[in-house]
Amino acid sequence: MNVNALAAPLAAGALLALATGCQSTVQYGDPTAVQSLSYTFSSTDLQMYAASMVDSLLTFPPIVEETKSRRPVILVSTIKNKTTQHIDMEALTDTVRTKLLRSGKFRFIDRTTDDAAIQEVRTQLESGLVDPATAVRFGQQIGAEYLLTGNFAQITQEAGRTKDVYYKLTMNLKNLRTGILEWSDEKEIRKIREKPVVNW
Amino acid sequence: MKIVPRKLWILATAGLALAAAAGCRAPQTAGMEAGGTISATPEGDTQMTKFVVINNQKLARGLQVVDARHTFANDILHASITIVAKGSRDLQFQYKFAWFNANGMEVEADRYPWTPVVVHGFESKTLQAVAPNPSVREFRLKIRPL
């Protein structure tokens, strides 16, 4: 029997298996899984920063004391992006706020929807459509007691085939009446990329 | 034309099949779970029943859960688990906390990220997290290879 006659279909079959087995597919992944495709800001980073900041704020002794019998009102200002990357800082800010809100220890004010709220109150008061007994009046909202702010910084070092990226998120809770910083914390993440000797 | 030896063909085909199998195989995701269930004692204190489940012997040979502790900060459970590396090399893995209420229902399911961590040779490390809200009475730490 000719050896080549047997080997060629066998090799073709193996190639076909390789091609069909590894063809490009789309599937749902775990949104909480560690994602480290590159050194840039990732979904894992966002979740780690948010979890770390919320854990720290919820266990800081003076804040524990403050939230024992009441739920203070906080205004969150979007975290400032001081890195060289374009990052949606509102997404990070929203995650921190959502986690804090769901702890049941704080209440929040959202200034981003004020335009729509003013429009609605004005409609209730002026359009004549709404029963005046149930209409919301201006000047009844609760003022924020605390302001939550943050800075996000990056330090990058590169030498040869190694790139070292250091990220730092700092968050502060300021008492609006006294101006005192009631809480502050930092979370650091370091990512190191080693390029292989042979790269294509 | 020179005939290629049969052995070489078989070897090449087997190699290709092996590469295909290795390239497409799902990664090892089994790991370990450790945690505690907190209950109230008649004296008004809290006590914790601890547990460890090992589903990955290879990971368990390199890593040991040595302690689990808890405290309450403003009714919110603060859980901490200490692990020790059993080898002299760096060990990379990922962990995540899951939270359950007094009825065993998961609280804020799948809201916590898998967090990558490095433990150096024979180092002990404490993995801590704060429960999402005051209803939590049980925590589980999940560890799996990175």
Average pLDDT score over residue span B16-29: 68
How far is residue B98's CA from residue B35's CA, in Å, rounded to a whole number? 9
Residue-level pLDDT at B20: 61
Tell me which of A55-59, B15-19, B33-37, B38-42 is least confident.
B15-19
Give the tens place of pLDDT for each residue, A41-59: 888 889 889 999 999 999 9
Give the tens place of pLDDT for each residue, A9-20: 766 766 666 666
A22 pLDDT tier (thresholds 50, 70, 90): low
Cα of A7 to nearest chain B Cα, Å: 6
Which chain B residues touch A33 with a CB distance below 8 Å? 114
Instruction: Yes or no: say if B35 and B99 are a contact pair by the CB < 8 Å rule.
Output: no
How far is residue A97's CA from residue A93's CA, in Å, rounded to a whole number? 6
B132–A99 C-beta distance less than 8 A: yes
Instruction: Yes or no: say if B90 and B117 are a contact pair by the CB < 8 Å rule.
Output: no
What is the helix (H) or strand (E) element at residue A19, kind and residue range? helix A3-21
- Supply B123's token pair: 């180092």
Query: For chain B, how far is it from start to end, CA to CA, in angstroms?
Result: 50
Give the tens place of pLDDT for each residue, A164-199: 999 999 999 999 999 999 999 999 999 888 888 876
Which chain B residues touch A104 with a CB distance below 8 Å? 133-134
Cα of A85 to nearest chain B Cα, Å: 22
B11 pLDDT tier (thresholds 50, 70, 90): confident
B22 pLDDT tier (thresholds 50, 70, 90): low
Residue-level pLDDT at A35: 79
Residue-level pLDDT at B2: 56
Residue-level pLDDT at B85: 93
Average pLDDT score over residue span B67-76: 89
Question: If you search the block for the tokens 């335009």, which residue do you land on?
Answer: A115
B146–A58 C-beta distance less than 8 A: no
Distances (CA, A) of A67 to A30, A61, B99: 34, 10, 22
Does the pLDDT value for residue A73 go beyond 70? yes
B9–A6 C-beta distance less than 8 A: yes
Instruction: Yes or no: say if A170 and A83 are a contact pair by the CB < 8 Å rule.
Output: no
Residue-level pLDDT at A2: 61
Does the pLDDT value for residue B1 go beyond 60? no
Helix (H, G, I), strand (E, B) or coil at A135: coil
A48–B76 C-beta distance less than 8 A: no
Q: Is B16 on the interface with A (CB under 8 A)?
A: yes
Cα of B75 to nearest chain A Cα, Å: 9
Confidence (pTM)? 0.78
Percent of chain A with pLDDT over 70: 89
CB-CB: which of A3, A67, A105 is closest to B3?
A3
| Strands A73-76 and A146-159, bridge-based pairing | parallel
Give the tens place of pLDDT for each residue, A91-109: 999 999 999 999 999 999 9
B132–A102 C-beta distance less than 8 A: yes
Please name the residues in contact with A180: beta carbons below 8 A apart, sequence gap of 6 or more: A174
- Look at domain A37-194 and name its CATH class: alpha beta
Pairwise pLDDT comparison (A153 vs B14), residue with the higher score: A153
Average pLDDT score over residue span B108-125: 89
Average pLDDT score over residue span B129-138: 92
Q: What is the number of alpha carbons within 13 Å of residue B59 lying toward its C-beta? A: 21
Among residues B127, B108, B111, B136, the alpha carbon closest in space to that of B38 is found at B136
How many pairs of residues across A and B have Cβ atoms under 8 Å apart? 99
B113–A47 C-beta distance less than 8 A: yes
Residue-level pLDDT at B80: 93
A55–B128 C-beta distance less than 8 A: yes
Residue-level pLDDT at B105: 92
Decide if the complex's ipTM is over 0.90: no
How far is residue B20's CA from residue B42's CA, in Å, rounded to a whole number? 61
Instruction: Yes or no: say if A140 and A118 are a contact pair by the CB < 8 Å rule.
Output: no
- Supply A59's token pair: 């266990």
